[in-house]
Amino acid sequence: MRILGIDPGTARLGWGVIDSVSGKITPFAFGCITTEEHISPEKRLVQIYDKLQLLLKKYKPQSMAIEDLFFATNAKTIIPVGQARGVALLAAGKNNIPTASYSPLTVKQTICGYGKALKPQVQQMITKILKLPSVPKPDDTADALAIALTHAYSYKMKQAATK
Residues annotated as part of the active site: 7, 67, 140
Which alpha helices (H) appear in the chain, and where do they start and end? 41-59, 78-94, 104-112, 119-129, 139-162
Q: Nearest CA to 20 among 83, 66, 63? A: 63
Size of the chain in residues: 163
Q: Nearest CA to 55 among 102, 103, 6? A: 6
Rg, C-alpha atoms of the chain: 15
User: What is the β-pairing status of strands 99-102 and 12-21?
Assistant: unpaired
